[in-house]
Structure 1
């Protein structure tokens, strides 16, 4: 918004050339002092502020981004709200969960989607919001539009259909996120889902997953140098490519444990945007429907090989049968290490005709675990020791994610996840979610996006351009400063 200011002018008649000379000399001295003293001081106090203006983000844009970040962010959001966000329609029989360790956990969040006609535009819903963007990191065919999310007949419906609404994209679909609104640390997250299509043809990529709140999915600058790091050591693992370009193509952990005092949400603690997927659904060419149940981590093990003896496959069905589970043959690449198993499901649980439950239970930290479920039965388990210290790649232990995690539900389509059978897929197609429920230990309720041990809100507010401009795809392009690292002897 432009403001007009009136300039008041006052003419001064100098009676003496001497006074004029004094004024001129004084002005020059002050200007030189500012150039040689004032500007360096301002430059030294540039933490979290742009070094120079960004070509696609002028001052008006920055003010708009700052206002958006203020509206989206709750500083010091309590770990346990006064009233737990539990949907009153959740039946009493579903308000407790017995953990894999035999503990009684309680329901702390639920959404049954029983109210028809809900919308998910910005500001419409207290928890979930539909994004409006192209998910370029995986080169998706579809453009995500909040209008593709709706509730009907007690379900959240995500619709993919052909459309020319967005130039360069022939399809539109939906992605709902709880980013910066609802997060959690630890617990059991469960969804009941009917997958899109008929379970026979490849191409649809439905997913329900979680991401650390410092990374906003679809906003590349925020995940650059943070995804999928879950690391709290100060060693070669935080450096560019882990000092080994043949192993890693990552830019280094931007907010690592080596960061000097400065532009860091919690100096001395390694921060990141780790990812735990309840599932990513796919149909194999000539095969049936499967689910990848994964935890994405960085830095990487040598040849991306975890200690598989520290994991457990919990199903006993024969190979190829429904509910058969096996370690995923894809274990990683230059941008991620994927700790994953593939679970085979029934194609009847598709198209809105049949449903099944899927979830994961986890305990954060270097002694923690993640256990995945289907039909409320354990599928496979990752213990923290499986991603412990690796001397061959010279990295310390990766930890089961300690960041506040938020929920993402989306229906995508991309060649990067198995290819697309355009000849046989039918549109429009729908992904149905009956409910989302979260359980935690009654003494460990943690539902904050800004917890004291892993704060995020102030950092998001101070870097609003990165968190609200989808066009900026890496941190360097934001022109925000990078913190200095003690591992490079940069601390002053």
Structure 2
């Protein structure tokens, strides 16, 4: 048997089929001992040496060329060999050094800055920032369709070009009450345009005003500013390129952008055409913001109501099962089978059942406030013989018997009977009208005048007789006539209650149109293009009683308009039903 100091290796013969194995002593190959033989030694291998074998250590640590005795010191021993006597001087020192304080200070500053940026600043901004109200508007402070900003010198409600002596105005009704300017536009910047998104306050319509059988297409192309005034042009057009209509006109409004409730609205106007040729339809007027002029679905059941009572006045045709008799006795509109009313009923009435869609608010008894889109016309220009006149009126619903309002001397006041007369047109099946005709300043016309501008306007206090409400119409910078709210009081014949002088937020409208429904047209004498010019528009309210904005707390509109936005943006919806909606249920009809 081989001894323990021997190692053997098997060596095979040359024949692969042979099974004999020879045991041959394994020698140390001239090394001092077997300890010197590293398993990585190149001499053990029959293959060439590799890179790894060059850097391999032998199994004998004595050949590693390092200090193996713990008694021998190395240069870095002080890093890991503690010395109590040497370290004692450090143990009693203050643990925080100046360098440590500096490091901690930097960390504290960094953390504080991050907290301030991502926590403190947003919180402070939330509680301290003042967010400008859009007042129900879509543009200034709200939504601008194109992101453009109008070049009108400033973005305030008061035009910087308005002279300071126009900042206040005394009531033309009582001659005492002081009013202050809340909105103005002087139109001094030429070249303004009024496509959607172009202007913070005004927007021109792009549609056919079918409600009054107009012969023109209203286009933003017809409206601009020139020579320091707003100009609306009515012109002949090729019908093939003008929506199959032979005329192009313009209508400009502040709908859902600027509204006011009560006050004085005045405009300086040069009327289109001549003072002795009939056929044009220039107008300046106002309407409640819940109805958008030209958009039939938004208007149905709201125009021209101004009513806050739950009774027969809120229902279709202003009658129920033939009651009251005054509504069905054939003494109404002679052009509509003698019917008193063809209105569909007040869509947002005080009779609206609880839980139905309604903009609110709610009375103390839980019923909704009656809401609507009233109309007050500053003027509609016409001609009587060879004299230019303006019809200045209010439109109402529900209707008095035979459309005769209580025009007593207390309720109907004319300031100059020579210039102003009662308008015999009192309405029809779709509206009741309170109107007077007043001679204009004959020089303030486009073609045969002196080039002057005349001031037209309205002054009104919202509400009922108990609120001392009234409307005063202004012609040539003077009061023309006044309607007291008592004139639109209850009517026992038609079983309706009082109608209010508009309490709704009202927006401004001006347009130039042509329609045979307004009156006869002298086609031979009319000259085109016809241009109506507005030098400026201004709105005043009593000092300390400012109420501007299209979404006031007492008469909100924004949420309702947003909910039914297509009715206010798509003129192809001509009725509420065509928009796919139905009127809210009515408690008077027992529908709740």
Structure 1 and Structure 2 fold alike (TM over 0.5): yes
Secondary structure class of the residue paired with 1:137:
helix
Q: For 1:26-425, what aligned pairs fall within 5 Å after superposition?
A: 85-99=157-171, 100-101=173-174, 102-164=176-238, 165-243=241-319, 244=327, 246-261=339-354, 262-266=356-360, 267=362, 268-284=368-384, 286-309=385-408, 310-316=410-416, 318=418, 324-351=419-446, 353-366=451-464, 367=467, 368-425=469-526
Output the CA distance in 1 between the equivalents of 2:284 and 2:224: 16
Contact 1:183 1:447 in 2 (8 A): yes
CA distance in 2 between partners of 1:488 and 1:74 (Å) = 43
Task: Report the counterpart of residue 432 of structure 1 in structure 2.
Answer: 533
Q: 1:469 offset after TM fit, Å?
A: 1.1
Partners in 1 of 2:584 and 2:568 — Cα distance? 18
Do the aligned residues in 1 keep the contact of 2:446 with 2:532 (CA within 8 Å)? yes
Spell out, residue by residue over 1:448-472, the C-alpha distance to the aligned partner (whole angstroms, 9 max, x if none).
1011111111111111221111111
CA distance in 2: counterparts of 1:289 and 1:304, whole angstroms: 26
The alpha carbon displacement at 1:199 in A equals: 1.2
Q: Aligned partners of 2:261 and 2:290: how far apart in 1?
A: 14
Unaligned runs of 5+ in 2: 1-135, 143-154, 320-326, 329-338, 363-367
Match of 1:49 in 2: none
Tell me the secondary structure at the aligned position of residue 260 of structure 1: coil
3-state SS of the aligned residue for 1:458? helix
| Contact kept in structure 2, 1:96 and 1:104, CA below 8 Å | yes
Instruction: Kindly indicate whether the alpha-carbon contact (under 8 Å) linking 2:182 and 2:541 is maintained by their aligned counterparts in 1.
Output: yes
Larger Rg computed on CA atoms = 2
Q: Alpha-carbon deviation of 1:166?
A: 1.4
| 8 Å Cα contact 1:206/1:411 also seen in 2 | yes
TM-aligned CA deviation for residue 73 of structure 1: 10
Native 8 Å contact 1:292 1:342 kept in 2: yes
Q: 188-197 or 479-488, which moves further after superposition? A: 479-488
Shift of 1:160: 0.8
Distance 1:409 1:149 in 2: 11
Structure 2: distance between partners of 1:450 and 1:73: 14
Task: Tell me the CA shift for residue 434 of structure 1.
Answer: 0.4
> Which residue number corresponds to residue 152 of structure 2?
none
Contact 2:137 2:550 in 1 (8 A): no
| SS of aligned partner of 1:215 | coil
Residue 578 of structure 2: SS of its match in structure 1? helix
Structure 1 residue 315: Cα displacement: 3.0
Cα deviations by residue, 1:97-134 (Å, 9 ceiling, x for unpaired): 11123111100100000001100000000001110000
TM superposition score normalised by structure 2 = 0.67
SS at match of 1:294: strand
Tell me what 2:14 maps to. Answer: none
The two structures, once aligned, show a CA RMSD in angstroms of 1.7
8 Å contact kept, 1:105–1:441 = yes
Matched, 1:456 2:557: yes
How far the C-alpha of 1:344 sits from its partner, in A, is: 1.2
1:58-92 per-residue CA deviation (whole Å, 9 max, x = no partner) reads xxxxxxxxxxx9956989xxxxxxx9510111111
Runs of 4+ more than 6 Å apart: 72-75
In structure 2, how many angstroms separate the alpha carbons of the residues matched to 1:84 and 1:370? Answer: 28
- CA change 1:154–1:458 in 2 (3 A) is same
Aligned equivalents of 2:209, 2:140: Cα separation in 1: 23
- Take 2:582 and 2:313, find their aligned partners in 1: how far apart are those partners? 21
The Cα shift of 1:347 comes to: 2.8
Q: Deviations over 1:243-264 (max 9, x none)?
A: 1352111000010001012200
**Equivalent residues, number:** 410
Number of the residue aligned with 1:484 = 585
What residue number does 2:72 align with? Answer: none
* 1:235 Cα offset (Å): 0.4
Q: Which has the higher contact order (CA 8 A, sep 6+)?
A: 1
Quote how far apart the aligned CAs of 1:489 are. 2.1
CA contact (8 A) 1:463 1:480 kept: no
Shift of 1:287: 3.4
1:351-372 Cα offsets, whole Å, 9 max, x none, are 0712110111000001310001
Return the alpha-carbon distance in structure 1 between the equivalents of residues 422 and 589 of structure 2.
38
CA contact (8 A) 2:287 2:506 kept: yes
Q: Give the distance between the partners of 1:215 and 1:339, measured in 2 at CA.
A: 20
Of residues 227-236 and 371-380 in structure 1, the stretch that sits farther from structure 2 once superposed is 371-380
